[in-house]
């Protein structure tokens, strides 16, 4: 499309009542501009003509959403290891539990944002929780929604580093993407040994997103359960257990309540639906096969 046609479409858009010039500048500012010029339909205007004669009007070109999605995918900071993860590439190995988890995440991503309640993927290591979570995140991004990947351990390290006077980044700058993303993937929740500071930080992140009604996808290797020293009846009240009572002393494996505190576990029950992801550790199987 030549420059004359581009100018004509922009003039039609302006006369239709939408401030085309400002909208286009904002769109282009939000994305790499090189892709726009390669569109054979709109020639970079982000608008295309439909109809003819007196019924002729302009609508957004498909290249706009495509360009926005490419930009949002890059901005989401998904690690390279998981960049290729999608639902088609998730193997269930005929495991009904994994198949059910995959189907649940596919439906959830397809329905978003009609239902903004998040999801909590809980299960042992190596069953593909992060794969499923990233696949769901990418499907949401394809709708033009701002989303962010965040590794729980890395986030805590960055916050701690921000306290160092020689580091320019402040705690607020580290947390801003976590607070502002419409959809946040918080990977490996509970992976850091709990302390009062860790609990306070988890509370800040989850409470802020809860209060702002933002959606959160969470993965964890710890099964959902109350903290040590908390009976099921007390756990339902959201009261915290005795921090001095360890899971080891209780004679059982650690739970999510042990790792993030009972109050935040209770909050998660409001923020997210629990999805159990149960299966064999595919990493162990892969290593075993490599040694044969």
Percent residues over pLDDT 90 in the chain:
58
Residue 123 is predicted with a pLDDT of 95
How are strands ordered across the β-sheet holding 183-187? 147-151, 183-187, 215-220, 118-122, 272-276
Residue 64 is predicted with a pLDDT of 81
Mean pLDDT of the residues in the chain: 81
Residue 38 is predicted with a pLDDT of 72
d(CA 159, CA 162): 5
pLDDT in tens, 54-108: 777 888 888 887 888 999 999 999 999 999 999 999 999 889 999 999 999 999 9
Per this entry, what is the length of the chain? 292
Among the residue ranges 110-119, 133-142, 235-244, the one predicted with the least confidence is 235-244
Domains plus CATH for the chain?
A: 3-70 (no CATH), 76-290 (3.40.50.300)
d(CA 47, CA 38): 14
What average pLDDT score do residues 29-35 get?
46
pLDDT in tens, 154-198: 999 999 999 988 888 899 999 999 999 999 999 999 999 999 999
Which one, of 224, 136, 219, 222, lies nearest residue 183 by Cα? 136
Which one, of 120, 187, 114, 113, lies nearest residue 156 by Cα? 187
pLDDT at 52 over 80: no
**Local confidence band at 24 (pLDDT 50, 70, 90 cut-offs):** very low
**Local confidence band at 281 (pLDDT 50, 70, 90 cut-offs):** confident
Write down the pTM of the prediction: 0.76
């Amino acid at each position: 499309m030549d420059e004359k046609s581009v100018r004509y479409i922009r003039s039609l858009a302006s006369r239709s009542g939408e401030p085309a010039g400002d909208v286009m500048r904002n769109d282009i500012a939000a994305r790499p501009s090189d892709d726009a010029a390669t569109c054979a339909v709109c020639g970079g205007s982000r608008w295309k003509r439909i109809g003819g004669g007196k019924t002729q009007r302009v609508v957004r070109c498909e290249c706009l959403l495509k360009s926005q999605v490419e930009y949002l995918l890059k901005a989401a900071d998904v690690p390279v290891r998981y960049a290729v993860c999608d639902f088609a590439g998730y193997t269930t190995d005929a495991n009904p539990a994994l198949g059910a988890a995959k189907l649940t995440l596919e439906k959830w991503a397809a329905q978003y944002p009609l239902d903004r309640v998040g999801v909590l993927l809980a299960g042992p290591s190596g069953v593909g929780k992060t794969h499923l979570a990233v696949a769901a995140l990418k499907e949401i991004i394809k709708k033009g929604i701002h989303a962010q990947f965040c590794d729980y351990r890395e986030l805590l390290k960055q916050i701690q580093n921000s306290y160092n006077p020689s580091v320019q980044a402040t705690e607020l700058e580290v947390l801003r993407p976590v607070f502002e993303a419409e959809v946040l993937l918080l990977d490996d929740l509970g992976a850091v040994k709990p302390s009062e500071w860790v609990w306070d930080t988890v509370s800040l992140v989850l409470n802020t997103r809860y209060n702002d009604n933002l959606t959160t996808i969470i993965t964890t290797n710890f099964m959902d359960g109350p903290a040590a020293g908390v009976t099921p009846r007390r756990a339902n009240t959201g009261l915290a257990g005795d921090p001095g009572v360890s899971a080891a002393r209780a004679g059982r494996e650690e739970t999510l309540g042990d790792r993030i505190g009972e109050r935040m576990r209770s909050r998660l029950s409001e923020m997210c639906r629990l999805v159990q992801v149960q299966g064999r550790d595919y990493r162990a199987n892969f290593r075993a096969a490599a040694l044969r």
